[in-house]
Amino acid sequence: MSGKKILLVEDDRDLLFLMNKKLTDEGFLVIKAETGQQALDILPKEKPDLVLLDILLPDIDGLTVLNEIANHPEVKNTPVIILSNLADQGSLEQAAAVGEYEYLVKAKTDLSEVVDHIRKKLKLN
């Protein structure tokens, strides 16, 4: 049990449910946000150990959220893993322009792999 706090930003409710269950089963404390604005409201209050961030969100897109994280003094050092099906070169370049973030493609990454990446990012291996 790691007890590390993960902010899971995902608007697909089925995927949110599955990821929440997997992460909880793995011992993480999960805080869920279904919109970019929810994520931005939660971040400074909860100060998660890691953010798992979708790009395509119903209000503020994930790249904007990523920029806000990078520019917010209280949370700018929070590790972020982008998990999105938006795998075009432009999105990858936009994320890279903000900082060094891991970018996983949902369709090519199973939940166990996501957990492995989280553990590596949080140095839990």
Q: What DSSP letter does each residue of 73-106 carry, written as one string?
A: TTTTT--EEEEES---HHHHHHHHHH---EEEEG
Report the C-alpha gap between 118 and 2 in whole angstroms: 11
**Which pTM value belongs to this model?**
0.89
**Residue 35 in contact with residue 55, Cβ under 8 Å?**
no
Q: pLDDT per residue over 15-60, tens digit each?
A: 999 999 999 999 999 999 999 999 999 999 999 999 999 988 999 9
Extents of the domains making up the chain: 5-121
CATH T-level topology, domain 5-121: Rossmann fold (3.40.50)
Q: What's 15's DSSP letter?
A: H
